[in-house]
Amino acid sequence: MKTNRPMLVILSFFFFITHLTSCSGNRENQSADPSGDPGYVIAIHGGAGTLSRENMDENTEREYLDKLAEALEAGEEILSKGGSSLDAVQAAIIVMEDSPLFNAGKGAVFTNQKRVELDASVMDGKTLNAGAIAGVTDIRNPILGAIAVMKNSPHVMLAGNGASEFAREQGLEIVDNSYFHTQRRLDAVTRQIEQDKQGTVGAVALDMDGNLAAGTSTGGMSNKKYGRIGDSPIIGAGTYASNKTCAVSATGHGEFFIRWVVAYDIAALMEYSNLTLEEASGLVINEKLVGAGATGGVIAVDRHGNVSMPFNTSGMYRGYVKSTGEKEIAIFRE
C-alpha cells in the first residue's frame, strides 16, 4: 500500500502539538478549582527551624496555632470581599509583626549588640513593583515601610536612617527600639538558644482578580553582626511575585537564600522549565538547598491557586486557606 508521506507528517505534527499543550495545561492546573476559577488563596509562614513537639508545651503550640489562624483570617477577610492580594499580605503580616511570638516587629531577635534591626519586603505580581527596607531600628511595622517604599518612592530598597526618615515622612508609626524587645529573645541571644531563633514571617496571596503578591518581614538571625542584611528584604531571594508564575516568601538561613536566589529560582523553574509549583519549590528547598547544607522553607502560591509549603527543617509555622474552604494550619512535619 502506498503511504501518503506528507499527510502522515502533518498528522503526526498535529498530534504532537495537541499532546504537548494538553500536558502543560494539566501540569499547571494540577489542583486548581475544577470550575477553572482559582478564586482566592492566602498562605502564611512564621519561620522554619528546629521545632519539635517534644520541645513545645501544649499551651505554646496553641498560642502559635491561634495566632496563625488570626493572621490567615485577617488576610482572608480582605480577599473574600474582593480586596487585593497586596492588602491581604499586608494585613496577615501585621498580625504576626505585632505578636511577640514571631521574629518580626515586636519580639524580633537581637543583634550581637543587643539591639533589634529589621528587614522587610513586598512585591506586586501584577506590576512587578517591589519595595523593601533593611536594617531599620524604629519602624513599628516594617512591612508598612516596605509597602510605602514600593508605592510612594522611585526606589526599591531603603536602608537604615534613610528608611526611618522616609517612614516618618510617610506618617508611619515610629517607636523606640525597646518596643521590639522581649526577654525570650534576649535570653536566646545571650544563651544561644537554638529554638528561639525562628519566626520570620511571610504571606503570599492570589486575589479574585488573579493578581499575586508576596511579602516577608524579619528580625533576621539571632546574634547577627549589627548591619547584617539577610535575604528577607532582597527581591528574588526572600520574596518574589509575578502573575506569570507564582508568589513566594522564604524563611531560613539568609546567606544561602541570597546566593541561591531562592524565590526567583522557583518562579524561573516554572517559567522556563515548565515545572509545577510543587516540583519547582520542592526541587529548590529539598534538593538544591539541602545539597548546599542550608536550612529553611518557603510558602508559595501559583496563578491557578495551587499552594506549596516545603521546608527541610523539622518544622515550619505555616498555614493556608482557599476560597474553596480548603484550609491547613500546622507547625511540625506531620
Residues that bind ligand ASP (CB under 6 A): 47, 198, 200, 218, 220-221, 230-232, 251-252, 254, 257
Residue 148 corresponds to which amino acid?
A
Instruction: Give the nearer residue to ligand ASP in terms of CB position, either 79 or 263.
Output: 263
Which strand (E) or helix (H) includes residue 167? helix 160-169
H helix intervals, the chain: 5-29, 58-80, 85-97, 142-152, 160-169, 183-191, 254-259, 262-273, 277-282, 289-292
In the bound complex, what is the minimum distance in angstroms from residue 135's beta carbon to ligand ASP?
11
Distance CA 265, CA 252 (A): 15
In the bound complex, what is the minimum distance in angstroms from residue 49's beta carbon to ligand ASP?
7
In the bound complex, what is the minimum distance in angstroms from residue 297's beta carbon to ligand ASP?
9
Q: Determine which one of 111, 137, 200, 218 is catalytic.
A: 200
Whether 60 is catalytic is: no
In the bound complex, what is the minimum distance in angstroms from residue 237's beta carbon to ligand ASP?
9
Q: Confirm if 234 and 120 have CB atoms less than 8 A apart.
A: no
Distance CA 246, CA 302 (A): 4
Distance CA 124, CA 121 (A): 11
Instruction: Give the nearer residue to ligand ASP in terms of CB position, either 200 or 245.
Output: 200
Distance CA 204, CA 299 (A): 7
Instruction: Give the nearer residue to ligand ASP in terms of CB position, either 280 or 294.
Output: 294
Instruction: Give the nearer residue to ligand ASP in terms of CB position, either 41 or 51.
Output: 51
Distance CA 145, CA 122 (A): 10
Q: Please list the active-site residues.
A: 200
